[in-house]
Amino acid sequence: MTPATQTRKDFLSVLDFDVADLERCLQLAAQVKADRSLGRHAPTADVLNGHHVAMLFDKPSLRTRTTFEIAIRELGGHLVALPADVALGRREPVADVARNLERWVDAVIIRTFSQHILLEFAAAAKRLHVVNALTDQEHPCQAIADFLTLQERFGQLRGRTIAYVGDGNNVATSLAHAGAMLGVHVHIASPEPYQLPHAVVQQATSVARHGARLRLFSEATDAVAGADAVYTDTWTSMGQETEAERRRAIFAPFQVNDELMSLAKPGALFMHCLPAHRGEEVTAEVFESDASVVFDQAENRLHGQKALLLMLLAPSAGL
């Protein structure tokens, strides 16, 4: 097991971790996954006893909300599920919400719109651990589960290639950050003007290890050629609903279907963060195929986020 690295306050972005943190998080996730069958006898079953963790979601969620709730409970912590009417920044300033919560709880898990809201929240409350449960710009908890899933399938991640086809969005950003740090080549194919932001390309390039390359493509077929896994996400993210019709037309050539999968490496995996829209970003055939690991990814949200909570809240738990 990689030794504990320095304590981290927040996880607003994959970039808040260094490579050692990220690798340790994946190792810890695999360990807590293996230990889950021990139930209350698992070595981590009580490590968050006495810790209160609040969750505040400004957008819908099935996977992230459920897996964080279970993770907190299975680590012996106490959940404070804040109602959506707390509405960051609309009832009272973001910094005031943060400075209230830090008097009561140890950590807050937030799903909201702008990354700036999270940054403002975390800066206002120096004692509070803040976790990004998805913003318009990043979805770092998803990336932990994604690379845990790939590690389970491939063993060694370094040198593998993952092709992301579709919107250069929050999921693509965190995938690019983590892939680069873990030595995985990331290919991203998107139509103009939905490509990965230039700033993200620069960030990923600056944290890349073991020769990992991030490459952007305008054709899905070029991006998936020889890839070990093909990943896609919704064409219309939460908050973009009024653009749905326009996006459906623009993204149509970027659908993941059997023909596209046949251009990837034989046996290539299909990945999706979910929720999925069959007939749009992926066909029902690919979604339901043996190549699909989407429910492994969903399961691994639980184990990845348990590992993350351990790293932030119980770094000396002795694992």
The residues that are catalytic are: 111, 139, 142, 233, 273, 301
- Considering the rule CB under 6 A, would residue 232 count as an interface residue with ligand NVA? no
Select 55 or 310, whichever has its Cβ closest to ligand NVA. 55
Interface segment toward ligand CP; rule CB under 6 A; list 45-53, 57-65, 75-83, 191-199: 57-65
Question: Which range of residues in 60-68, 72-80, 157-165, 179-187 is near ligand CP by CB under 6 A?
Answer: 60-68
Beta bridge partners of 165: 189
Question: Of these partners, ligand CP, ligand NVA, none, which one is at the site of residue 62 (CB under 5 to 8 Å by kind)?
Answer: ligand CP
Q: How many CB atoms lie within 10 A of CB 160?
A: 23
Measured distance CA(89)–CA(156) in Å, rounded: 43
Burial class (CB in 10 A: 0-12, 13-18, 19+), 50: exposed
53 binds, among ligand CP, ligand NVA, none (CB under 5 to 8 A by kind): none
Q: Is 257 exposed, middle or buried (0-12, 13-18, 19+ CB in 10 A)?
A: middle
Nearest Cα residue to 265 out of 160, 184, 119, 155: 160
Which of 16, 102, 106, 233 is the binder for ligand NVA (CB under 6 A)? 233
Residue 291 contact partner, candidates ligand CP, ligand NVA, none, CB within 5 to 8 A by sort of partner: none
Our finding on whether 284 is near ligand CP (CB under 6 A) is no
CB of 135 to ligand NVA, least distance (A): 8
Whether 72 contacts 94, CB under 8 Å: no
Residue 234 within binding range of ligand NVA, rule CB under 6 A: yes
Q: Which does 170 bind (CB under 5 to 8 A by kind): ligand NVA, ligand CP, none?
A: ligand NVA
- Quick one: which of 308, 302, 319, 314 has its CA closest to 11? 308
Residues 6 or more apart in contact with residue 319 via CB below 8 angstroms = 1, 28, 31, 43, 44, 310
The pattern of x and - marking residues 135 through 164 that bind ligand CP according to CB under 6 A reads -------x----------------------
Task: Quote the least distance from Cβ 11 to ligand CP, whole Å.
Answer: 15
**x/- letters, 199..218, toward ligand NVA (CB under 6 A):** --------------------
C-beta nearest to ligand NVA: residue:
237
- Exposed/middle/buried for residue 152 (C-beta within 10 Å: 0-12, 13-18, 19+): middle
Q: Answer yes or no whether residue 273 interacts with ligand NVA by CB under 6 A.
A: yes
- β-bridge mates for residue 162, sequence order: 186, 229
Provide the strand spans (E) within the chain: 52-57, 78-81, 107-111, 129-132, 161-165, 185-189, 214-217, 229-232, 269-272
Q: Is 63 in the site for ligand CP (CB under 6 A)?
A: yes
